[in-house]
Amino acid sequence: MTGDRQGGQLMKRAANSVAGKIGTRATILAADDDHKFLEEVKEILENEGYGVITATNPFDAKRILGDGLVDLALLDIRLTDMNDEKDRSGLIIAREIAPQIPKILVTSYLPYRDNSEEKGLPANVSFVSKQAGLDTIVYSVKSTLASIKRSSAPDGREDETALEGSAEMAPKEKPGFEKSVRAKWLTQKSPIMALILLLLALLAGVLAMVLENPILLIGTVAAAILAVVLIGVSISIE
Amino acid sequence: MTGGKMVVGWRISRPTVTSLRWWCLSALFVILVSLWFNAAHYTFKRRSEEWVLWPVTVRMFAPSYLSANNDEQIRFTVENMDSKAVDVAFRLINSGTLWDFPKQAENNNVYSGPIQSQEQIYRAVDLYLPASISQVYRMRGKDAGLNISGGLVSATPRTIPIPVQVAPILQAKQLADYCGIALFGLVIWLVRGLWDKIGERAR
């Protein structure tokens, strides 16, 4: 009973937030360390008219949720490392950060649902399987936002604008998340530049052998280190 | 198919904290491959030579590049081709810029004494060339300056230059061994990691 009451309060608080945005689009945080999946989710939600902010690690996800800039969060459970079976970073964020914001835990590992760790999660946290496909995820997003609207509407009617998003509204970046063009360019291009640097490093190694000049090995080591530094810098910018 | 667009071909994902580990391992792999190939190039090459100093024939088997600051070995055989026994004396002489420390019997004698008709004498000379990095780099492309000097005791000794060079990498032999082991370990690690990733995707 206490849990239901607490859940109701959380839904109301979230509803107030979304209700204040009637006429503007709802903003969703999508957090996943799988970039490909994240881009697909972002694309489909933006096509539905929602504003999407992405995070690829728990720190960014916490920061964005903590700032209260979103109406709903789609969180991957294994947010730090998708291969680490002990990784529960998404679950911890859902439990501890911004409980007033409804969250959907997206995971490939649905056994989490039956896990005792689900206990202690706020009532506005739900689960959806990655395998169920993007359409199911979009449906979950719409349903969750609609339920928030219903709880906020005085006569309990559904507000269609929340369900559809509002693609016609001009997309507006949240302050603090604007990246300089250079930073964006570096983030996008750094893997290919790092790959080229590694190839150059290898080439320097081959030349050192062919020309019998070991000084060129310094170029090999320098280029390889530079490639890693480049990736590190782009991650820190990201 | 996502949002009406199909993703065709492959692309490199944007870097993440997880992928940084893979980038570091790839960089380490490139460094180790380069170091190993270079060190191995100077380590595994061998050469053999034959000189006829009638009535004896001297044959040599040695590394093409001597690795400075490592133990090296040059093998010689001296064969008497004549029908009667002869007395010979052969020494290893260094006229190069690097010192050499002969380790065999604590002197530079390759062989001195009688050789019976059709007899073949085998000697392995252990060498140690102490050098600094700048010294070996300066000797790039030049012979080490080692010679085999001698012949029949009764005749004037001849000096024959031994066509071996000094590897321009210090301790090339040791470096090839260590880099080879590290590379092998890294390849096993990478293959295991990729195998796990493939398994994860398949699940």
A237 and A186 Cβ atoms separated by less than 8 Å: yes
Q: What is the pLDDT of residue A168?
A: 39
Complex ipTM > 0.85: no
Of A163 and B187, the one with more pLDDT: B187
The CA distance from B175 to B180, in Å, is 8
Residue of B nearest to A40 (CA): B2
Q: What is the pLDDT of residue B13?
A: 63
CB-based contact B28 A225, cutoff 8 Å: no
Q: In what order do the strands lie in the sheet with B158-161?
A: B109-115, B86-94, B146-152, B158-161
A143 and A162 Cβ atoms separated by less than 8 Å: no
Instruction: Among A40, A82, A238, select the one facing B2 at the smallest CB separation.
Output: A40
B172 and B42 Cβ atoms separated by less than 8 Å: yes
The CA distance from A205 to B107, in Å, is 39
CB-based contact B35 A205, cutoff 8 Å: yes
pTM here is 0.56
Q: What is the pLDDT of residue B129?
A: 85
Partner A contacted by B13 (CB < 8 A): yes
The H or E element spanning position B120 is strand B120-128
CB-based contact A225 B12, cutoff 8 Å: no
Report how many Cβ contacts below 8 Å link chain A to chain B.
Answer: 111
The CA distance from B78 to B87, in Å, is 11
Average pLDDT value over all residues in chain B = 85
Instruction: Among B14, B17, B34, select the one facing A201 at the smallest CB separation.
Output: B34
Using a CB-CB cut-off of 8 Å, the residues of chain B touching A228 are: 20, 23-24, 27
pLDDT tens-place string over residues A129-152? 877 778 888 888 888 888 776 666
pLDDT tens-place string over residues B126-172? 888 888 888 888 888 888 889 999 999 988 899 999 999 999 999 99
Of A14 and A96, the one with more pLDDT: A96
Segments in A30-133 forming alpha helices (H): 35-47, 58-66, 89-96, 111-114
pLDDT in tens, chain B (203 residues): 333 333 333 455 667 777 888 889 999 999 999 999 999 999 998 999 999 988 899 999 999 999 988 888 899 999 999 899 999 999 988 887 677 666 655 677 889 999 999 999 999 888 888 888 888 888 888 888 899 999 999 888 999 999 999 999 999 999 999 999 999 999 999 898 888 888 877 77
Using a CB-CB cut-off of 8 Å, the residues of chain B touching A80 are: 17-18
Q: What is the pLDDT of residue B22?
A: 86
Using a CB-CB cut-off of 8 Å, the residues of chain A touching B41 are: 209, 212
Question: Residue A100 above 60 pLDDT?
Answer: yes
Q: What is the pLDDT of residue A203?
A: 94
